[in-house]
């Protein structure tokens, strides 16, 4: 490690680092006495420090050359910090309201200095477990997705710019490989990393490993993930990668960022909301049956997709004579054809979204990394019942996704599965 100039920091050496880095020191008004430094990395991969001074604050995120939650036995390139900084800056440029500003990036140290998202910002997933409503969430996240995906696709890029960016982000291959393994492979085979609520889900896990139709679908999704450079996706847009307050929605942690299919991001977000929905019965108690909250989650799912579609179409209309080379105005030269082109594009994207969303749900129930939504349900049998509903829904949607015409049909399917399960 020493040979390339990289050294892992701790709370003490971080202070020396800040002192010798003007772009960081200036963010603290150069008042470097009495700094509060706190390591808070509760994610799976990195070390994260909050640094608060009397005249300013920031967050320092450092990638180590392995996966933090597993240890040095699972090496992982620290170059991921470079791609995270690239994605943060690109998405931040396109959607500054919903991406924290990057103040400093040090490639040698795999270290990013960025805006500290002050309280009451919390991880969205924790808010969903607590049963907190975020009335602007659908509005904000649809804005982030529409802008980050539209402007990095061939609807806005020239093919020259696009291939240049694609080539650069091909360098983030190791993180892509991690996704390939844990999302598209491990849940469908015997793997030492897989786990599930046993013995309750033993048969469900075995059924997935023997479901030929499901395996054919997941092969197609994996192929699209590996081959299709449609837009600069966040690559890990679950509810743990979003921080929220009542007024603010901030997307963090795009270290899995690469040029991939748009539906991978939208599906990750919606799939994790659906997981949150099916987990609610595990959080219900005598004081709060979570009925209203479940309705709010379903409303947010519906609004997110519909707002995304509307915002994406609005960007398309606004920039139809712009640099994008996918639909040249001289060819797509009448309003009827433009509408048909948009509808065809959006139908395909909807089906991609459902497929990727389903894959993300399945892996969170049967794969290596589970979600706190379910993990925080302490009773195994109660948790298993929630997980089984989610798994049933996800399997069906992955296989039948091309039959769904709109998000309303998805929401009513979720309701049906949930009601049926409660009736049994």
170 binds its own copies (CB under 8 A): yes
Nearer to its own copies, 2 or 330 (CB): 330
Query: H helices of 151-194, where?
Result: 159-169, 173-179
Q: Which is nearer to its own copies, 52 or 67 (CB)?
A: 67
Residue-level length of the chain: 424
Nearer to its own copies, 163 or 299 (CB): 163
Asked if 77 interacts with its own copies (CB under 8 A), we say no
Q: Could you tell me which residues come within 8 angstroms of residue 27 by beta carbon, excluding any fewer than 6 positions away?
A: 56, 57, 58, 103, 113
CA-CA distance, 398 to 357, in Å (whole number)? 8
User: Which residue, 93 or 163, has its beta carbon nearer to its own copies?
Assistant: 163
CA pair distance 23, 26, nearest whole angstrom: 6
Q: Which of 255, 235, 238 is nearest to 78 (CA)?
A: 255
CB of 95: closest distance to its own copies in angstroms? 22
Residue 80 binding its own copies, by CB under 8 A: no
Q: Is 328 in the site for its own copies (CB under 8 A)?
A: yes
Nearest to its own copies of 90, 217 (CB atom): 217
Q: Which of 107, 189, 291, 405 binds its own copies (CB under 8 A)?
A: 189
**212: which 2 tokens?**
């030929």
Find the part of the chain contacting its own copies (CB under 8 A) among 33-41, 65-73, 270-278, 340-348: 340-348
Of these, 177, 402, 405, 420, which contacts its own copies (CB under 8 A)? Answer: 177
- Contact region with its own copies (CB under 8 A), list: 119-127, 186-194, 290-298, 302-310: 186-194
44 phi and psi, to 5 degrees? -90, -20
Minimum CB distance to its own copies, residue 325 (Å)? 7
262-283 burial, b at 16+ Cβ within 10 Å, e below that, comes to bbbbbbbbbbbbbbbbbbbbbb
Taking contact as CB under 8 A, which single stretch among the options 58-66, 71-79, 208-216, 263-271 is the one that binds its own copies?
A: 208-216
Do 40 and 49 meet the contact criterion of CB atoms below 8 Å apart?
yes
Considering the rule CB under 8 A, would residue 207 count as an interface residue with its own copies?
Answer: no
Q: Return the H-helix or E-strand segment holding 342.
A: helix 335-366
CB 77, CB 48: distance < 8 Å: no
Task: Verify binding: residue 159, its own copies, rule CB under 8 A.
Answer: yes
Among 55, 314, 337, 419, binds its own copies (CB under 8 A): 337
* Residue closer to its own copies, measured from CB, 189 or 291: 189
CA torsion sign, 181 to 186 to 192 to 196?
A: positive
Q: Is 287 in the site for its own copies (CB under 8 A)?
A: no
Place of tokens 């949607």: 397
- The residue count for binding its own copies (CB under 8 A) is 46
Whole-angstrom Cα distance, residue 320 to residue 229?
A: 21
The piece of 31-39, 51-59, 163-171, 246-254 that touches its own copies (CB under 8 A) is 163-171
Cα(386)–Cα(364) distance, integer angstroms: 13
Among 55, 206, 207, 219, binds its own copies (CB under 8 A): 219
Before 231, cis peptide (omega within 30)?
no
Cβ count near 233 (within 10 Å)? 30
Among 228, 351, 382, 399, binds its own copies (CB under 8 A): 228
Kindly state whether residue 227 participates in binding its own copies, applying the rule CB under 8 A.
Answer: yes
Among 1, 207, 314, 340, binds its own copies (CB under 8 A): 340
The vertex-64 CA angle with 60 and 69, nearest 5°, equals: 100
Rounded-to-integer distance, Cα 209 and Cα 76, Å: 27
Residues that bind its own copies (CB under 8 A): 154, 159-160, 162-164, 166-168, 170-171, 173-174, 176-177, 180, 185, 188-190, 212, 215-216, 219-220, 222-223, 226-230, 325-328, 330-334, 336-337, 340-341, 344
């Amino acid at each position: 490690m020493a040979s390339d100039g990289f050294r892992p920091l701790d709370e003490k050496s971080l202070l020396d680092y800040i002192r010798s880095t003007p772009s960081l020191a200036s963010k603290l008004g150069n008042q470097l006495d009495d700094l509060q430094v706190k390591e808070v990395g509760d994610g799976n991969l990195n070390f994260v420090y909050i640094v608060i001074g009397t005249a300013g604050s920031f967050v320092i995120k450092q990638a180590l050359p392995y996966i933090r939650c597993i240890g040095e036995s699972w090496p992982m390139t620290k170059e991921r910090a470079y791609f995270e900084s690239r994605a943060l800056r690109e998405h931040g440029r396109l959607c500054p309201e919903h991406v924290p500003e990057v103040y400093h990036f040090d490639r040698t140290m795999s270290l990013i200095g960025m805006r500290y998202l002050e309280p009451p910002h919390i991880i969205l997933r924790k808010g969903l477990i607590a049963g907190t409503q975020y009335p602007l969430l659908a509005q904000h996240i649809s804005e982030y997705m529409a802008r980050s995906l539209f402007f990095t696709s061939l609807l806005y890029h020239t093919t020259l710019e696009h291939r240049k960016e694609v080539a650069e982000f091909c360098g983030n291959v190791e993180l892509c490989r991690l996704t390939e393994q844990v999302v598209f492979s491990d849940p469908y085979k015997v793997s030492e990393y897989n786990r599930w609520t046993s013995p309750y889900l033993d048969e469900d896990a075995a059924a997935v490993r023997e479901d030929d139709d499901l395996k054919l679908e997941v092969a197609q999704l994996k192929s699209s993930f590996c081959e299709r450079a449609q837009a600069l996706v966040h690559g890990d847009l679950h509810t743990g990668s979003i921080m929220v307050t009542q007024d603010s929605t901030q997307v963090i942690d795009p270290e899995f960022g690469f040029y991939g299919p748009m539906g991978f991001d939208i599906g990750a977000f919606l799939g994790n909301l659906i997981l949150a929905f099916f987990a609610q019965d595990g959080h219900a108690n005598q004081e709060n049956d979570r009925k209203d909250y479940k309705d709010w989650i379903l409303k947010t799912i519906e609004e997110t997709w519909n707002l995304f579609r509307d915002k994406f179409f609005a960007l398309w209309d606004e920039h139809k004579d712009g640099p994008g080379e996918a639909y040249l105005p001289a060819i797509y030269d009448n309003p009827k054809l433009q509408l048909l082109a948009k509808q065809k594009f959006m139908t395909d994207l909807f089906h991609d979204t459902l497929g990727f969303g389903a894959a993300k749900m399945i892996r969170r129930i049967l794969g290596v990394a589970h979600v706190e939504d379910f993990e925080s349900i302490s009773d195994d049998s109660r948790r298993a019942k929630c997980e089984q509903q989610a798994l049933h829904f996800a399997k069906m949607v992955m296989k039948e996704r091309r039959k769904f015409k709109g998000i309303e049909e998805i929401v009513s399917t979720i309701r049906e599965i949930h009601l049926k399960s409660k009736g049994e």
